[in-house]
Amino acid sequence: MSTPLLGEMSPAEAESVYFNEYPPPKTLPRHEALARAFIDLHVEAHRRVVLVTSGGTTVPLEAQTVRFIDNFSAGTRGATSAEYFLEQGYAVIFLHRQYSLLPYSRHYSHSTNCFLDFMDEAPAAADSSNPGHGPIMVRDEYQDQMRSVLRKYRYAKQNNRLLLLPFTTVSEYMFELRSIAKLMQPLGPDALFYLAAAVSDFFIPRSRMAEHKIQSSELPEHMRGSAISSDEIYTGENEENPSSNSRKLVINLDPVPKFLHQLVDGWAPEGSMVVSFKLETDPSLLVYKARTALQRYSHHLVIGNLLSTRKWEVVFITPDEPHERWLRVPKSRRSKSISGAEDQVGLAEAKKGNPSTLEEVEAQQVNETSRDGIEIESLIIPELVKLHTKMIEKKTQPAQ
């Protein structure tokens, strides 16, 4: 009889099997201690705390990992959202893929906005003992923007409002999410989960994973040991009788269990708000898939986005009226995106007719004074905070 896939088990069974299969990440005890102290501090202050997850997860192909599967997410949504949550007075636990974008420093990231381009060497003072070494300073044209970012960053740091916790693999992410969610219990309705990370849907279970680097060329027999040789098809199953087809690597992945169910029904505090994201590439699927996720996990909000338009529009799918609500950056305020496709804005809502919604008009009014591009997160977070406030009021006000 074949072993059932995790996806075929009950959520509780899948949780037990999954978490017993992997050793917890080495960093977990330290992260738990940091998270506990952070949460205690903010419970004491009656402050709301949001757990923002951000970036992609890796799926290792070997236990001693040389190769892994990854995804596109740079962590822009998570890092940007964290800044707007901080602006709204939340304390933020930022559970992020290591080396993905971080709140505040994202403005000066290595790939798009190299921090060195913002700097200059000023002439040395006339009386300097080292005339060849002028002080390093921020270029004039960036002073205001950098001062503003720096002040917000220092405020968050000095006031203990931001806790950065990194993960890399999908299993590390799962362990961290479970532990932090449970630690957030004392927050009750003041806890918010904002699950923006792009978590892999597929993985190779530890029991079927090669220990060592998968070999791409033949080894002499006496050196082979348990190495997967090049005349085998590696399926991630360590099959007894692998079919022979040299130089091919065929990977057989299992579905990652959907722990959203466990989060909503067990790990997260009673009364807390859970927001998940749904990413699609096919506009005709987005709303359907987001609605299905909301029904399946019975949480509070699914934010749907298309890969090609995610910087300019999202849809809020809620259990209550209006059920489907689009937030859009007005055309004139859309920042350019190399990977984006502006002509696809509105397509996922096409059946509804005119995509120019109330939100578009409102956004135009709110930001009338600024001619710069608007970040869609500046629209998402205030709306979300309103919904969270409503939920808290419902939970904390005695029934009339």
Name which of residues 354 to 373 contact ligand PAZ (CB under 6 A). Answer: none
Binding status of residue 305 toward ligand PAZ by CB under 6 A? yes
Provide DSSP, 41-66: HHHHTT--EEEEEESB-BEESBSS-S
Rounded to whole angstroms, the Cα distance separating 318 from 221 reads 60
Q: Binding to ligand PAZ by residue 6, rule CB under 6 A? A: no
State whether residue 367 is helix, strand or coil. Answer: coil
**Using the rule CB under 6 A, is 379 a contact of ligand PAZ?**
no
Residue indicated by tokens 């059946």? 351
d(CA 94, CA 177): 11
- Residue closer to ligand PAZ by CB (options 56, 269) is 56
**Least gap, CB of 75 to ligand PAZ (angstroms):** 5
Backbone angles phi, psi at 324, to 5 degrees: -135, 120
Q: Within 174-203, which residues bind ligand PAZ (CB under 6 A)?
A: 196, 198-199
Here the tokens at position 374 are 């608007």
Q: Which of 358, 386, 362 is closest to 374 using CA atoms?
A: 362
Looking at the Cβ atoms of 73 and 272, the one nearer to ligand PAZ is 73
- Least separation in angstroms between residue 254's CB and ligand PAZ is 17
Amino acid occupying residue 219:
L
Q: Does 53 bind ligand PAZ (CB under 6 A)?
A: no
| Position 234, amino acid | Y
A 10 A CB-CB count for 132 gives 7
Size of the site for ligand PAZ (CB under 6 A): 13
Non-local CB neighbours of 103 within 8 Å, separated by 6+ positions:
79, 80, 82, 83, 86, 92, 94, 153, 156, 162
Q: Which is nearer to ligand PAZ, 181 or 197 (CB)?
A: 197
Least Å from the CB of residue 99 to ligand PAZ = 13
Strand partners, 195: 53, 276
Q: Of 128 and 281, which CB lies nearer to ligand PAZ in the complex structure?
A: 281
What are the helix (H) ranges across the chain?
Answer: 11-21, 28-44, 76-87, 143-158, 170-183, 260-262, 283-297, 358-366, 377-396
For ligand PAZ, the closer of residues 93 and 279 by Cβ is 279
Determine which residue in the list 181, 275, 279, 286 makes contact with ligand PAZ, applying CB under 6 A: 279
Rounded to the nearest angstrom, the gap between the alpha carbon of residue 106 and the centroid of all alpha carbons in its chain is: 14
Residue 59 within binding range of ligand PAZ, rule CB under 6 A: no
| Lookup: tokens for 175 | 């362990």
86 contributes a contact to ligand PAZ by CB under 6 A: no
CB of 308 vs ligand PAZ, minimal distance in Å = 11
The one among 73, 169, 262, 308 contacting ligand PAZ by CB under 6 A: 73
Question: Of 18, 85, 277, 297, which one interacts with ligand PAZ (CB under 6 A)?
Answer: 277
Query: Is 278 a binder of ligand PAZ (CB under 6 A)?
Result: yes
Strands 324-328 and 68-69: unpaired
List 31, 48, 96, 310, residue binding ligand PAZ (CB under 6 A): 310
Q: Is 77 in the site for ligand PAZ (CB under 6 A)?
A: yes
Comparison of 76 and 169: residue with beta carbon closer to ligand PAZ:
76
Q: Which is nearer to ligand PAZ, 80 or 367 (CB)?
A: 80
Rule CB under 6 A: say whether 76 interacts with ligand PAZ: yes
Q: Residues in the site for ligand PAZ, rule: CB under 6 A?
A: 73-77, 196, 198-199, 277-279, 305, 310
